[in-house]
Amino acid sequence: MDKLRAVLSGRDGDTDSTPNVIEAVNEASTLSWRTRVRGFAVCMGIGIFCSILGVCCLFLPKIGLILFIVFYTLGNICSLASTLFLMGPVKQLKRMFDKTRVVATVVMIVCLVLTLCAAFWWKIFALTLLFVILQAIAFAWYGLSYIPFARDAILKFFSSMCKMCIKCQCD
């Protein structure tokens, strides 16, 4: 039975060989569907809670902006990590770096890192807020990549809005 399981898993009957990293991660991430949905819901809930908490902290004097940045970025990281429960980490990482969403993924991750760098290392708050805005846009653009034709619809909408604005200015 072990030989059959090994052949079906792609190890070609060589039961003595050690599995590679991808196989080890796949085997370690075998959760039931119910557990996956629960993990997704909890992680997404934590992400949403952190983002809302960050917005609430924005109005605190002195440390409000720092707390906003930390909680908002942590919320985005938790929200992103929640999707790992649904598909599994390897499949999700492969999908994140598909040719259709690799730019959105890289921009999102870079903005997450630059937001924290601008807040804690460089201490330039205007730049930090710029990175937070770019982080939100990149996260939304990344999320839209999973909905068929959503990004095309958004681009057409903004294109038509720009044409209307140009037409209004010419009149």
SS3 147: coil
The residue assigned the tokens 């770019």 is 134
Please name the residues in contact with 145: beta carbons below 8 A apart, sequence gap of 6 or more. 100, 101, 104, 151
Which one, of 17, 88, 24, 26, lies nearest residue 6 by Cα?
17
Please name the residues in contact with 139: beta carbons below 8 A apart, sequence gap of 6 or more. 76, 79, 80, 108
Cβ(75)–Cβ(48) under 8 Å? yes
Q: How far is CA 3 from CA 8, 13, 53, in A?
A: 9, 5, 52
Cβ(119)–Cβ(69) under 8 Å? yes
- List pLDDT tens digits, range 127-162: 988 999 999 999 899 888 888 889 899 999 999 888
Cβ(72)–Cβ(50) under 8 Å? yes
> Which is it for the CA torsion 111, 116, 117, 118, positive or negative?
positive
pTM of the predicted model, to two decimals? 0.70
pLDDT of 62 higher than 90? no
Greatest mean pLDDT among 11-20, 106-115, 119-128, 156-165 lies in 106-115
Mean pLDDT of 104-110: 92
pLDDT of 8 higher than 50? no
Helix residue ranges per DSSP H, 88-124: 89-96, 102-116
Locate 2 and state its tokens. Answer: 């072990």
Percent of the chain exceeding pLDDT 70 equals: 82
What's the pLDDT at 59?
86
pLDDT of 94 higher than 60? yes
Q: Which secondary-structure segment (H or E) carries 66?
A: helix 64-87
Which of 26-30, 42-46, 75-79, 133-137 bottoms out in mean pLDDT, i.e. has the lowest?
26-30
What's the pLDDT at 17?
52
What does the alpha-carbon distance between residue 45 and residue 22 come to, in Å, rounded to a whole number? 28
Which one, of 66, 88, 48, lies nearest residue 132 by Cα?
66
